[in-house]
Amino acid sequence: MLMNMKELLKVAYKHNFAVGSFNVANSEFVRVVIEAAEEKNAPAIIQIHPNEIELVGDEFIAYVREKCRNTKVPMAIHLDHGSSVKDVMRAIRNGYTSVMIDASHASFEDNISITKEVVKIAHDVNVSVEAELGTIGSNEGSSEGGADEILYTDPEDAKRFVEETGIDTLAVAIGTSHGQYKHAGKPKLRLDLLEEINHRVGIPLVLHGGSDNKDEEISQTYLHGIAKINLSTDMKSAFFGEMRRFLTEQQEAYEPDVIMPSARKAAQKVVKQKMDLFNSTNKAHLYFS
Ligand SMILES: [Zn+2]
């Protein structure tokens, strides 16, 4: 079942769980996410970054829509880190049900005005909008960008930002970074700050850079307003790690063996663990009652 993200996250926010939002850049990952979601009976989001749409091409979204429409679980297709109105328009034309506009690098006032413009366009055609305030860090191996230094989201700014823009969901900076914390120190999430932001804004919040954080910390976030957790690195590392192992071992491998169930399974294992961790396992029924 394909729906917009506002509807998807409303239920998660109310019932204190977070929906995993997984970056895909080929059909293998679409299968990974959908099969895991159906097995876990969990809602899920497939998200595509502007870099990823360059890899797969616009036509790919017709396939993703068809797959999502045929699932038994609630799904949304979301633009990850759109950086311009052009990115957003392209996503809407392609059939995404949700978009992110990330103007967090701009001044506060500019962020408000760009985001407002996107909200106007998207809401007219029933597409939900995520925006970002504060800056999420960037680690090695991430193509998603982010800042060298994290600027934490200010709760009072968040309140004004949400009120003025009319967004459906807000990505907050509370100490996470994109990518893997290989060399950088693992951050401690500012749960106190999250609690305060949630208290002030009252809309579902989004955690970016959900890979590689401590499980005990992640499992606190959805008790304080996080309704969507973005995940890319952990899932992709599992997939490509297994792919490398398989191809090294099986030098003669060719299709169909090389379209490896083992790599898909390795990634699926991670996705399913995350669904348990985010408390979204067995929550699909909440959307049908
Ligand atoms: Zn992000």
pLDDT 10s digits, 45-75: 999 999 999 999 999 999 999 999 999 999 9
Confidence at residue 210, expressed as pLDDT on a 0 to 100 scale = 73
* pLDDT tens digits along 184-230: 566 678 999 999 999 999 999 999 987 778 899 999 999 999 999 99
Distances (CA, A) of 40 to 33, 119, 215, 274: 10, 33, 19, 11
Q: Report the chain's C-alpha Rg in angstroms.
A: 18
**How many CB atoms lie under 10 A from the CB of residue 151?**
13
Neighbours of ion ligand 1 (CB under 5 A): 208
Q: Which two tokens stand for residue 48?
A: 């595509």
- CA 151–ligand 1 middle distance (angstroms): 14
Cα–Cα distance measured from residue 140 to residue 98, given in angstroms and rounded to the nearest whole number: 28
Known binding residues for Zn(2+) are 81, 102, 132, 178, 208
Q: Report the SS3 class of residue 147.
A: strand
CA distance 5 to 13: 12
Query: d(Cα 173, Cα 132) in Å, to the nearest integer?
Result: 8
Query: Which residues does the annotation place in the binding site for dihydroxyacetone phosphate?
Result: 179, 209-211, 230-233
pLDDT of residue 157: 96
**How many Å lie between the centroid of ligand 1 and the Cα of residue 19?**
15
pLDDT tens-digit series, residues 3-44: 999 999 999 999 999 999 999 999 999 999 999 999 999 999
> What's the token pair of residue 153?
């989201």
Q: What pTM, to 2 d.p., does this model score? A: 0.93
CATH of 5-236+270-287, one of 3.20.20.70, 2.60.34.10, 3.30.365.10, 3.40.50.720: 3.20.20.70
C-alpha distances out from residue 77 to 45, 95, 168, Å: 6, 8, 15
Whole-angstrom Cα distance, residue 242 to residue 69? Answer: 29
In the reported structure, the alpha carbon of residue 270 is separated from the centroid of ligand 1 by a whole-number distance in angstroms of: 19
CA of 3 to the centre of ligand 1 (A): 21
pLDDT value at position 61? 98
- Rounded to the nearest 10 degrees, how much is the dihedral formed by the CA atoms of 231, 166, 286, 62? -60
Give 104-134 pLDDT, tens digit per residue. 999 999 999 999 999 999 999 999 999 999 8
- Please give the distance, rounded to the nearest whole angstrom, from the Cα atom of residue 81 to the centre of ligand 1: 6
Confidence bin at 244 (pLDDT 50/70/90)? very high
- What pLDDT does 147 receive? 64
Domain ranges of the chain: 5-236+270-287
pLDDT score at 184: 56
> What per-residue confidence (pLDDT) applies to 211?
74
**Phi, psi for 46 (deg, rounded to 5):** -100, 120
Main-chain phi, psi angles of 147, to 5 degrees: -100, 155
**Residue 110, burial from CB neighbour count under 10 angstroms (0-12, 13-18, 19+):** exposed
Residue 148: pLDDT above 90?
no
Predicted pLDDT at 255: 77
Rounded CA separation 240/170 (Å): 31
Confidence category of residue 145, pLDDT binned at 50, 70, 90: low
58, 80, 124, 148: which one is catalytic?
80
CB 85 within 8 A of CB 92: no
Q: Compute the distance from residue 23 Cα to the ligand 1 centre, in Å.
A: 10
Residue 142 pLDDT greater than 60, yes or no: no
Q: Active site includes 80? A: yes
> Band of the pLDDT at 267, cuts 50, 70, 90?
very high
Res. 232: pLDDT tops 80: yes
Instruction: Tell me the binding residues.
Output: 81, 102, 132, 178-179, 208-211, 230-233
10 Å CB burial of residue 188 (0-12, 13-18, 19+) is exposed
CA–CA gap between residue 195 and residue 191 (Å, rounded): 6
